[in-house]
Structure 1
Amino acid sequence: MTQPTILTWLRTACFYVLGTLSLILHIPVLLISLTRPLERRYYRLFSFGRSILWLARHVTGIRYEVEGLDHLPKEGGSLILAKHQSTWETMFLPTVLRLAAFVLKRELLRIPVFGRGLQGIEAIAIDRAAGRQALDQIMEKGAAALAQKRDVVIFPEGTRTRPGARPHYRMGGAKLAVHARATVIPVAIDSGCLWPKQGFLMRPGTIHVVFGPPIETEGRTASEINATVQDWIETKQEELYQRHGCPTRLPDSAQ
């Protein structure tokens, strides 16, 4: 594994300083946008996310390549089940999806400024400790967002995972697909190779995002859908690691 240079550490520190400054400067944008209709409010609030992508590219040297965008219906209303390894994809996905409604843990709403922004874009916040009630919230609010032709984003593993970690896909996304009769778009992302879940350092390089072909859910059980999604994403993840390398990937013995 190539050891990070002092410049990489300095660029990472600079990124976090400028990212915090960007969040502070977006407070007026937040206050003004909250009075606007959802569509106008959404894209103004996510100017913060675009600033983070810009900083990641120009300060830390993190670029990205995307495949399979043609699999996304232009009118929206898809259920996006994606790999989650980093903060990066939460900033990127809204730039290519239609009014993305993220299913996320309720605790994120308590983060100053950022949490208020999540409320402003009408994210689907759930109490993960609530068990069946949390699943009911996903069914109700997720189906409503899909009916409004918003793309709903669920990270089926429930949290950020290390590249190469043993996968555990929860059933909430697949159950929503059955309940709402939604088309599923699986997404593979190797962001954790450059911007990992653990640690401070952000490595320069290219993040790869692959949108898979639509998975039709009519007549299929949630278990079948979940297995199909996991198989496609994990197979594609391994292809990305093999093709491009991944300095933070866990060794096979640690998986």
Structure 2
Amino acid sequence: MLMLRSIAFQVLFYVNFAIWLSFALVLTSLLSEKMNWRIVNGWCRMSLWLLRHVAGTRSVVTGLEHVPTRPSIIASKHQSFWDIIALVPHLDRPTFILKQELMRIPVFGRYARKLGMIPIDRAKRGGAIASMLENATIAAGQGRQIVIFPEGTRCRPGAAPDYRQGIYRLYETLAMPVVPVALNSGLYWPRKDVRRWPGTIRADFLEPIPAGLSRVDFFPHLRGSIEKRSDELLAEAYRTDGMEPLEEAGREKLREILGRPAG
């Protein structure tokens, strides 16, 4: 039953995506930016509706009082595609920093450019950071929220964190507060796995980190807040839904959080 519901969700998710994207591309030049974002938010909410009613997976986002109305940086843990569709409806015209490869996807890449997403060509290394900072400065000047995944890619639940320097360069250049986001989506929407597990995915916007901290102070603050809360959400998923990471390293981390002996 789990596999059947998961496959049904996947099929409906991509059909829904194609319908909304086709509709958006036909009308994008005729609609205002506000209306284009309504289309995006509608697609996200419909996707979450399908996830709940087809796969049996609920979505809960808390800490919304910490999301500033002014331009800011949103630094989120990244474990699955859920992180995008669940966070977007709670943000104001967010500009995502994403890998260049996504912009090459037919139709999607074109619409992503239309909405002001910032691609990163990781092969360019230092040049990629300079381009990111330039485009992010423009987006911030337009009053947009900048969303970045500090580890640069999706990570598995319970995996050792690997925070990159790009987040600090962004924080230093834009001189704006950073709102950390913790989550446990990878348990229910695993990477490279068709299964979508029933239960409740949770994300939590945390207390903003004020602008102006040094690199030495910033990284422990950011990493500490995201990892501590993500560990709590990992443990909560186990207690409420019986969810465990698929990899042994993640399960070992869970045992450590729960205070249980290894093995």
Give SS of 1:206's match: strand
Calculate the TM-score normalised by the size of structure 2: 0.88
Offset at residue 32 of structure 1 (A): 0.3
Structure with higher helix content:
2
Q: Distance in 1 between matches of 2:219 and 2:35?
A: 34
User: How many residues are matched?
Assistant: 247
Within the candidate set 131, 140, 148, 1:146 is matched to 140
1:161 matched to 2:161: no
1:204 matched to 2:198: yes
Letter in 1 for 2:142: Q
Structure 1 equivalent of residue 106 of structure 2: 112
Q: Distance in 2 between matches of 1:96 and 1:57?
A: 18
Structure 2 equivalent of residue 14 of structure 1: 8
Write out per-residue CA displacement over residues 161-218 of structure 1, whole angstroms, 9 at most, x where no aligned residue: 1001111000111211111111000000100010011211110110111111010122
CA change 1:16–1:192 in 2 (3 A) is same
Give SS of 1:167's match: coil
**Any unmatched runs of 5+ in structure 2?**
254-263
Give SS of 1:81's match: strand
Structure 2 equivalent of residue 232 of structure 1: 225
Calculate the TM-score normalised by the size of structure 1: 0.91
CA RMSD of aligned residues (A): 1.7
1:247 matched to 2:244: yes
CA change 1:10–1:121 in 2 (3 A) is same
5 Å-filtered alignment, 1:47-86, equals 47-73=42-68, 75-86=69-80
Write out per-residue CA displacement over residues 120-150 of structure 1, whole angstroms, 9 at most, x where no aligned residue: 2110112111111110122111122122221
Within the candidate set 196, 214, 217, 2:211 is matched to 217
Structure 1 equivalent of residue 183 of structure 2: 189
Percent identical residues: 35
**Any unmatched runs of 5+ in structure 1?**
1-6
Matched-pair contact (CA < 8 Å) for 1:42–1:120: no
Offset at residue 251 of structure 1 (A): 3.2
Matched-pair contact (CA < 8 Å) for 1:102–1:154: yes
Q: Distance in 2 between matches of 1:222 and 1:141?
A: 22
